[in-house]
Structure 1
Amino acid sequence: MKKLVLLVLIFTVLLNISCNKEDFLDQPLTGRQQLDDYFSTEENSVNFVNGIYKKVNGESWWQANFPRQINDMATDDNWSGNTAQPRPDITGIAAYNVFPGSTYFNSFWENHYIGITRANISLERIPDVEMDEDLKLRLLGEAKFLRAFFYFDLVRSFGGVPIVTTYTELLQPEINDKVRSSVEEVYALIEEDLLGAIDGLPLRSEYASQDLGRATKGAAQSLLAKVYLTQEKWNQAQIMANNVMVSGEYSLEPDFANIYSVENHHGVESIFEIGYINNPLYNEIGGHLSITNGSRGDQGWGWGSPTSDLENAFLSEGDNIRLRSTIIKHGEPVYGDPDVTEFDGLPSENKSGRTNRKYYVPVAQRPVPYERGQIPLPYIHLRLADVMLMHAEAAYFNGDENTAKASLQLVRNRVQLTTNMSLTGTALRDAIWKERRLELALEQHRLFDLRRQKINGVPRIALLMGPNGSFVHYNTEVSTDPFETTNLNEPQEKGIFFDAGIHLLWPIPPEEIQLSRGNVVQNPGY
């Protein structure tokens, strides 16, 4: 976090978010005076906060969304998938043969700290701008929510990280002396920001249609519920999740298949969503996942292929409704796309011959050109079913099993599955955890769920991965899947190198350690 680097990033912030970029190109924008000049109008303040949102998914495919996709590859839900391109910086992470200097760790860290810097500038400058007080309160609430969002991503990925909360700090010589704060200190800041955001943000129903996608009170409550759940603050998590459920602001999509659809932006279930549009005149205003995740036989890159283990989990529940809208299998029809009766999963270049249906765009709905950065498919970070299952899990650990079963059944009703209401104890816990896997499959939640969920104090990821892991055992000793067991360009033993003493966190990017002059220390084992 070298001061010079951060000043350059701030300069880039101003250039990128100004609605009159041409006016800035001829001006040497550096330092405090230029910020004084910029934060002189209500319009500029709104534009600056808009710029924070760009870092939620990254301003390019490799900055945030692809690292999150790699996280899913490091679970039992996904293989790396692409067996045609040797990319050890990707496959190594997925297989727990981790290369600390991977560009994806570096880009994720840098992307998030740029977002934090933008939020810090907003929180420091907007209070002094003359504008409508309700708008000011909202903008500050958005900045607090987004800063909490970035820090939550960082602390779950890397553990304790350096805390920077003001722009002024970045101008001080001692910025290079920043050390990693404790995990507890990072979570305390996240909680403080989200509680402040809840107080300042409008309800979803109070936004005009053109403002949908901004942070809302419900988004802040939902994220805070997940923050509490991650810390095993069960009572607070249950209360906060319940606040969202009873707010009347959200409801489950009647048809599971419509949750991810190019025709259903900001649907009734969506709580925090990043929308994308298609416009061939501009790059990077459309989504990326349909391409990076798509089959190599269908104009995609082939990364992140669903496992037969995940498919088996759906089959074991008789859950065809969610299965058909989650996994596309080579040679089979694509549910909801009448133009594709035999999908080309290209098993010779795809480990499992399977593709994520949630990020798939039906042929008739594809834009021209159909390419990365042009896909109008939104990405949903928080949705109501997620909150309901957080509520169920928190209620279970609070000893409120009847409430836990009731919330579990609300989610299962949509896909015509019943809950055994006699379930209790660890059987109920496991049913809730399994439901999270099925409901949220391939939506980039699985890794963090497996890290935080524990059985007898052991994180579940450590029971699935490693030499004695059940997922490794299934693939190497049990599976007869015709695609996975014949395409061995990605080894069947994926996850065998997992070490619970190392891999519950990702490595701190080495360049950040170097820039801090060694004050930021590496995670154990890397």
Structure 2
Amino acid sequence: MKKLFLLLLVISTLGLNVNCSKDEFLDQPLRGRQQLDDFFSSPENAVLFVNGIYNKINGESWFQANFPRQINEMATDDNWSGNTLQPRPDITGIAAYNVFAGSTYFNLFWENHYIGITRSNISLERIPNVDIDEGLKNRLLAEASFLRAFFYFDLVRSFGGVPIVTTYNELLQPEIRDKTRASVDEVYEVIEADLIRAINTLPLRSEYASSDLGRATKGAAQALLAKVYLTTERWAEAQAMASNVVQSGEYSLEAEFEDIYSVDNPHGVESIFEIEYINDPQFTDIGGQFSTTNGSRGDQGWGWCTPTSDLENAFLNEGDEIRLRSTIIKHGEPVYGDPDVPEFDGVPSENKSGRTNRKYYIPVAQRPTPYQRGQHPLSYIHIRYADVLLMHAEAAYFNNDEDTAKASLKLIRDRVELDTDMSLSGTALRDAIWKERRLELALEQHRLFDLRRQKINGVSRLATIMGPNGTFVKYNTEESTDPFETTNLGEAQDKGILFDVDVHLLWPIPPEEIQLSQGNITQNPGY
């Protein structure tokens, strides 16, 4: 799907304004009706414009969406901020719940997603008038609906209720001061409606040509809607929607766990929604970012978002060597699957944990030249089949269907040669499913949203892990003897002690957006 990565160059050549300015955060106007009319005058341009929506999934540069998602990971028990050589209060503060509301990363994430929403709105309004094959037209409209839902789901989980914009009029652009926050329920209504439209129209993965792999599919829309239902605790709908994906026969688990994030396996059998990257030194930022931003400072990386010993212990306590070796690289140890690195340099003096994410690591022999940010050919998978099976298990459990829950759980554990206790029931089964999500999906940017939504006696699990009495805080301050974490105090050992359940289940609304709305967009409590 290389054409997606060249869209920005195409639009720039045509003179369309694809950059955001501070006073255009919701509507992102292109300059003039004639310009839009000219652009949407051909089927080819309609396809190109929809391709441009995909660019905002991971942002058009490393800092717009990908890095804020990594900061989310840093705010969990799975990761430290990591980089202790270059203290950044706007990063480590978020990770430690000493949150700087004005962090540029909140603002960039918000702006990036509203640009994506605006591109979706333009597509949904303009493409019906393009002289184009009806099948292609309907598919493009369904892709735009899926992508708009994707952006709103990211926003509502991050900030709560946000302004809803579903139209675009270049002549009658509403003033920012007229925008207000919709309720959480209203945002989810938009998301659900968009995904249902997408499901009814999008092709199956098997119906796409190989050159179009990576586009939204019926299975991707069903999987995302299953996650929406799981998040909103609509258990029966979540189970049914996840079952649709399972029963489609379009996806399966990779035979070997290590192959999921192999640079040689883009769009593998387990991938449901994936952004593929390419390497081309002629252009910047068309390749991946994570191998650099996550990478060790001893291995041409920046050293951010580094795995904790607490996460490593979770694997060890489960006897889960197969997933551990493909998830965490540790200082002084060989890199699994890379014979060129018998002793990894995790630089513990500059890295809080001396550990690195193996899933975003590219073996030395497979690295492109130049090996640098924006040139990595390693894809990023937003949704994969194992995630759907675990959603299915969790929804089935809460839907009082424990046998089904255990069957889906067993499929995940069988792959990594772990036994499943089929006698599990009640909260023990629930906890086993939640533990499996942590181990299976570790470091893939799901943990924060999982902990926020999962509840025990009505209280978010995040409150049991963070805060003065949180298990993660107590482990690090009272129990840990990890030689890297306890000696490198460039990042405080009590990370998370400031967590407040009445504040930190949402991030702050970017203050710039509140100011631009003249106060009509209100701040979340506690910020």
- Cα pair 1:291 1:300 within 8 Å, conserved: yes
* Alignment partner, residue 328 of structure 1: 329
State how far apart, in whole Å, the 2-side matches of 1:22 and 1:103 are. Answer: 29
Does residue 19 of structure 1 match 2:10? yes
User: How many angstroms does 1:489 deviate by?
Assistant: 0.9
User: How many angstroms does 1:88 deviate by?
Assistant: 0.4
Aligned length: 512
Q: Give the counterpart letter for 1:263 in structure 2.
A: D
* Alignment partner, residue 131 of structure 1: 132
* Alignment partner, residue 280 of structure 1: 281
- Cα pair 1:285 1:373 within 8 Å, conserved: yes
Q: Give the counterpart letter for 1:84 in structure 2.
A: L
State how far apart, in whole Å, the 2-side matches of 1:424 and 1:163 are. Answer: 41
Q: Give the counterpart letter for 1:378 in structure 2.
A: S
Q: For 1:93-492, list aligned pairs within 5 A.
A: 93-168=94-169, 171-492=172-493
User: How many angstroms does 1:241 deviate by?
Assistant: 0.2
- Cα pair 1:144 1:194 within 8 Å, conserved: yes
3-state secondary structure, aligned to 2:272: strand
* Partner deviation per Cα, 1:234-287 (whole Å, 9 max, x = no partner): 000000000001101101000100100111000000000000011111100100
Q: Give the counterpart letter for 2:187 in structure 1.
A: V
Q: Give the counterpart letter for 1:488 in structure 2.
A: L
State how far apart, in whole Å, the 2-side matches of 1:262 and 1:462 are. Answer: 37
- Cα pair 1:275 1:379 within 8 Å, conserved: yes
User: How many angstroms does 1:33 deviate by?
Assistant: 2.4
Using a 3 Å threshold, how does the CA distance of structure 1 residues 313 and 353 change in structure 2: closer, same or farther? Answer: same
User: How many angstroms does 1:36 deviate by?
Assistant: 1.7
* Partner deviation per Cα, 1:159-184 (whole Å, 9 max, x = no partner): 00000001128833444311000000
State how far apart, in whole Å, the 2-side matches of 1:25 and 1:494 are. Answer: 45
* Alignment partner, residue 4 of structure 1: none
* Partner deviation per Cα, 1:449-500 (whole Å, 9 max, x = no partner): 0000000011000010001111100000001111110111111100000001
- Cα pair 2:7 2:48 within 8 Å, conserved: no
3-state secondary structure, aligned to 2:15: helix
State how far apart, in whole Å, the 2-side matches of 1:434 and 1:491 are. Answer: 26
User: How many angstroms does 1:394 deviate by?
Assistant: 0.1
User: How many angstroms does 1:40 deviate by?
Assistant: 1.3
Using a 3 Å threshold, how does the CA distance of structure 1 residues 232 and 170 change in structure 2: closer, same or farther? Answer: farther
3-state secondary structure, aligned to 2:376: coil
State how far apart, in whole Å, the 2-side matches of 1:98 and 1:495 are. Answer: 11
- Cα pair 2:70 2:305 within 8 Å, conserved: yes
User: How many angstroms does 1:219 deviate by?
Assistant: 0.2
State how far apart, in whole Å, the 2-side matches of 1:423 and 1:82 are. Answer: 41
3-state secondary structure, aligned to 2:432: helix
3-state secondary structure, aligned to 1:68: helix
- Cα pair 1:17 1:48 within 8 Å, conserved: no
* Alignment partner, residue 69 of structure 1: 70
TM-score, L = length of structure 1? 0.95
Using a 3 Å threshold, how does the CA distance of structure 1 residues 20 and 347 change in structure 2: closer, same or farther? Answer: closer
3-state secondary structure, aligned to 1:297: helix
User: How many angstroms does 1:204 deviate by?
Assistant: 0.3
- Cα pair 1:256 1:321 within 8 Å, conserved: yes
Q: Identify unmatched segments of 5+ residues in structure 2.
A: 18-28
State how far apart, in whole Å, the 1-side matches of 2:190 and 2:112 are. Answer: 19
3-state secondary structure, aligned to 2:297: coil
- Cα pair 1:219 1:382 within 8 Å, conserved: yes
State how far apart, in whole Å, the 1-side matches of 2:407 and 2:261 are. Answer: 25
Q: For 1:40-79, list aligned pairs within 5 A.
A: 40-79=41-80
- Cα pair 1:142 1:215 within 8 Å, conserved: yes
* Partner deviation per Cα, 1:332-380 (whole Å, 9 max, x = no partner): 0000000011000000000011000000000000111110000000000
3-state secondary structure, aligned to 1:168: coil
- Cα pair 1:157 1:505 within 8 Å, conserved: yes
- Cα pair 1:286 1:375 within 8 Å, conserved: yes
Using a 3 Å threshold, how does the CA distance of structure 1 residues 230 and 170 change in structure 2: closer, same or farther? Answer: farther
Q: Give the counterpart letter for 1:483 in structure 2.
A: F
User: How many angstroms does 1:19 deviate by?
Assistant: 3.4
Kindly, what percent of the aligned residue pairs are identical? 79
Does residue 499 of structure 1 match 2:500? yes
Q: Give the counterpart letter for 2:448 in structure 1.
A: L
Q: For 1:75-94, list aligned pairs within 5 A.
A: 75-94=76-95
User: How many angstroms does 1:34 deviate by?
Assistant: 1.7
* Partner deviation per Cα, 1:4-36 (whole Å, 9 max, x = no partner): xxxxxxxxx9x964737545389x961222212
State how far apart, in whole Å, the 1-side matches of 2:227 and 2:14 are. Answer: 42
State how far apart, in whole Å, the 1-side matches of 2:381 and 2:417 are. Answer: 23
User: How many angstroms does 1:86 deviate by?
Assistant: 1.2
* Partner deviation per Cα, 1:429-448 (whole Å, 9 max, x = no partner): 00000000000000000000
State how far apart, in whole Å, the 1-side matches of 2:220 and 2:158 are. Answer: 21
3-state secondary structure, aligned to 2:412: helix
Q: Give the counterpart letter for 1:355 in structure 2.
A: T
State how far apart, in whole Å, the 2-side matches of 1:156 and 1:173 are. Answer: 25
- Cα pair 1:169 1:175 within 8 Å, conserved: no
State how far apart, in whole Å, the 2-side matches of 1:129 and 1:412 are. Answer: 49
State how far apart, in whole Å, the 1-side matches of 2:14 and 2:208 are. Answer: 31
Using a 3 Å threshold, how does the CA distance of structure 1 residues 178 and 25 change in structure 2: closer, same or farther? Answer: closer
Q: Give the counterpart letter for 2:10 in structure 1.
A: C
- Cα pair 1:18 1:44 within 8 Å, conserved: no
* Alignment partner, residue 3 of structure 1: none
Deviation beyond 4 Å, 4+ runs, structure 1: 15-18
Q: Give the counterpart letter for 2:466 in structure 1.
A: M
3-state secondary structure, aligned to 2:360: coil
Q: For 1:33-44, list aligned pairs within 5 A.
A: 33-44=34-45
State how far apart, in whole Å, the 1-side matches of 2:191 and 2:416 are. Answer: 34
- Cα pair 2:95 2:496 within 8 Å, conserved: yes
Q: Give the counterpart letter for 2:310 in structure 1.
A: D
State how far apart, in whole Å, the 1-side matches of 2:291 and 2:180 are. Answer: 38
User: How many angstroms does 1:311 deviate by?
Assistant: 0.5
